[in-house]
């Protein structure tokens, strides 16, 4: 883990967050600045800066993130669909350099 990374600090429970899921390798919590009625993040507990930094050894972790998204979206009321976004690097709009997946849904209009 990176000492000053905000998401690593959330993983260590040093920074408060509204956690909706936690296991040995993943954490999911509500976005602090939601862009949709339902907007949460799924992050690995291990510090991986970007999707471009993942390796073949991260294959199972990435699959687990993708499988968790619809489960949590459904539990939070996204009956008619949801959007997943992983911003990567400066040109991809990444603001926090710890791999994270945005999951957004709920009644429209909230387009981005």
User: In sequence order, what are the residues at sequence separation of 6 or more whose Cβ sits closer than 8 angstroms to the Cβ of residue 58?
Assistant: 44, 48
51 in a domain, yes or no? yes
Predicted structure pTM score: 0.94
Q: Which residue has the higher pLDDT, 86 or 2?
A: 86
1 in a domain, yes or no? no
111 in a domain, yes or no? no
User: In sequence order, what are the residues at sequence separation of 6 or more whose Cβ sits closer than 8 angstroms to the Cβ of residue 65?
Assistant: 26, 42, 44, 101
112 in a domain, yes or no? no
75 in a domain, yes or no? yes
Residue of 109, 107, 104, 112 lying closest to 42 (CA atoms): 104
Q: Identify the active-site residue in 39, 98, 100, 102.
A: 100
71 in a domain, yes or no? yes
22 in a domain, yes or no? yes
User: In sequence order, what are the residues at sequence separation of 6 or more whose Cβ sits closer than 8 angstroms to the Cβ of residue 90?
Assistant: none
CATH number of the CATH domain containing 39: 3.30.428.10
Question: For the chain, what is the domain count?
Answer: 1
Find the domain containing 63 and state its range. 6-105
* Residue range 34-60, pLDDT digits in tens: 999 999 999 999 999 999 999 999 999
93 in a domain, yes or no? yes
100 is catalytic: yes
Residue of 68, 48, 35, 62 lying closest to 7 (CA atoms): 48
């Amino acid at each position: 883990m990176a000492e000053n990374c905000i998401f690593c600090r959330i993983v260590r429970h040093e920074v408060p967050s509204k956690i909706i899921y936690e296991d040995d390798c993943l954490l999911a919590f509500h976005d602090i600045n939601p862009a949709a009625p339902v907007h949460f993040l799924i992050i690995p507990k291990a510090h991986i800066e970007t999707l471009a930094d993942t390796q073949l050894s991260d294959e199972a972790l990435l699959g687990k993130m993708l499988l968790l998204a619809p489960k949590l979206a459904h539990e939070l009321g996204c009956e008619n669909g949801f959007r997943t976004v992983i911003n990567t690097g400066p040109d991809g709009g990444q603001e926090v350099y710890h791999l994270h997946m945005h999951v957004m849904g709920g009644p429209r209009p909230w387009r981005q």
